[in-house]
Structure 1
């Protein structure tokens, strides 16, 4: 069937108008979508060597910070959704984290904290308890740790977290605990540490984690328990996710390996909802 020329021209004109109208609406929609793309969330990591990543990868950084640390892995998994500033440093105590908090501001949106172990000097205690000749030092160190866990540390943890919350009033704050150093095993051929020392070390870290959790709750921030993720992967296990060396003399000992950071810390922190946009 053929159409008169006038009708054909009218149909073509209508189609062109529809096409132009559709294009006119589509362009602003695309522009709006681009305009509302969320900006990266400023994220600051605070804490000690566990947050710095010391022991997980070689680094020339004075604080031991490296790309294998859980904060760096978290930022990488966000695919540009967060911008990381890792202020954590090997050897940091709760008092040091208070000083680290100077980098926080009202613009900070995410904060993680891993600290408290250096306040107890746990590794030094374990070293003194390895030798029966240092029995007095072991006993004195144990008493000092018990005293700190009971009085000083709860106060210092609260002060640290309160300082962070005050310095970053609009931030979502997550505080992590520590993995238990030793797997539950009667024998430990790879790490010649007496059973009594291994048991005591796990007891101390359990109490440390409890103190951290209490301080977090008191300040209305989230506590992340990493011990479930490390179950079966402490020292003396077949596949440890912690660095272990004979006699506990290496500075990296007890620290998470790259696997410990990626499969122990990262999933626990990610599951906390820290980076959720809601």
Structure 2
């Protein structure tokens, strides 16, 4: 009888242990699992121009001349996941600077080494937002707004659209395909170097409202369509690049609707910037936070 009791006790304990083990596989165990598929042992490289480096939005990093801040979306992603970050984003970078050093226009002094440096088979995560500086495209829009605000262009309808037809690097219509080819080539070089990485291609946000412009982003009558078309071309190129290498495209155009420079809740600074927060014609921290949240949501799957 005593032996039977002991066996019963052992059986009861085993049953209890099995039940507890089963409990470990339920919500409590899942709650202990890391929230993201990447963590401290993983490496992350961020490629980008000033719309990634986010000048004026916070304390700067040690990357002199690149205007990187410690609150841009690469740093937000790294902080949330714990991954080791190489932030190669740099003010003024174009897709050539993926594989070539970035230099000053006049003295050819090197500002930054090729952004692809440090990328390899052990790279686990890459984000990419570039192309706006190719052929001086984004600069054409900013230059138009500044010139118009100073009265240089008068009030001539579509003054910048007309000037663009004789642009030294070619009119927008003639370089659209070249822009796409540049973005695809840059992303292919990155993909070849980092075959094991998850790659996220980040689109550019809406800078202008769906129609017209405003005092914070002044453009000659009718030139808003020309400017908006250039920004849309950036995203066409980036989406094509993402498709070419089977990367994930993060569509910031739709997400930023209602948050353009002229809106009541802007994610973009205009020609006049409140004290702190950004630099002229560049994103506030809210835009970077939105990018980070979208990438982080993908890293949970």
CA distance change for structure 1 residues 39 and 193 in 2, over 3 Å: closer, same or farther?
Answer: closer
Q: Distance in 1 between matches of 2:267 and 2:133?
A: 20
Q: Distance in 2 between matches of 1:266 and 1:145?
A: 34
Match of 2:279 among 242, 252, 261: 252
Map of 1:261 onto structure 2 = 288
Is the Cα–Cα contact under 8 Å of residues 45 and 71 in structure 1 kept in the other structure?
yes
CA distance change for structure 1 residues 141 and 267 in 2, over 3 Å: closer, same or farther?
Answer: farther
TM alignment of 1:97-246, pairs within 5 A: 97-98=98-99, 99-129=114-144, 130-131=147-148, 133=152, 135=159, 138-139=163-164, 140-141=166-167, 144-147=170-173, 149-184=175-210, 186=212, 188-246=214-272
Q: CA RMSD in A?
A: 3.7
Shift of 1:214: 1.1
**Is 1:71 aligned with 2:74?**
yes
Query: What do the CA deviations read for 1:187-223 (whole angstroms, capped 9, x no partner)?
Result: 6234433342333211111122111111221222122
Shift of 1:224: 1.4
Q: Distance in 1 between matches of 2:289 and 2:38?
A: 26
What SS does structure 1 have at the residue aligned with 2:116?
A: helix
What SS does structure 1 have at the residue aligned with 2:97?
A: helix
Is the Cα–Cα contact under 8 Å of residues 126 and 197 in structure 1 kept in the other structure?
no
Q: Distance in 1 between matches of 2:183 and 2:138?
A: 19
TM-score by length of 2: 0.71
Is the Cα–Cα contact under 8 Å of residues 73 and 288 in structure 2 kept in the other structure?
yes
What SS does structure 2 have at the residue aligned with 1:175?
A: strand
What SS does structure 1 have at the residue aligned with 2:229?
A: helix
Matched positions, count: 259
Map of 2:52 onto structure 1 = 51
**Which runs of 5 or more residues in structure 1 are unaligned?**
1-6, 27-32
Shift of 1:133: 4.6
TM-score by length of 1: 0.76
Give the structure with the larger helix fraction: 1
Is the Cα–Cα contact under 8 Å of residues 213 and 224 in structure 2 kept in the other structure?
no
Q: Distance in 2 between matches of 1:219 and 1:116?
A: 17
Q: Distance in 2 between matches of 1:60 and 1:217?
A: 32
Is the Cα–Cα contact under 8 Å of residues 56 and 261 in structure 1 kept in the other structure?
no
Shift of 1:84: 1.7
**Which runs of 5 or more residues in structure 2 are unaligned?**
21-28, 100-113, 154-158
Q: Which runs of 4+ in 1 moved over 6 A?
A: 36-39
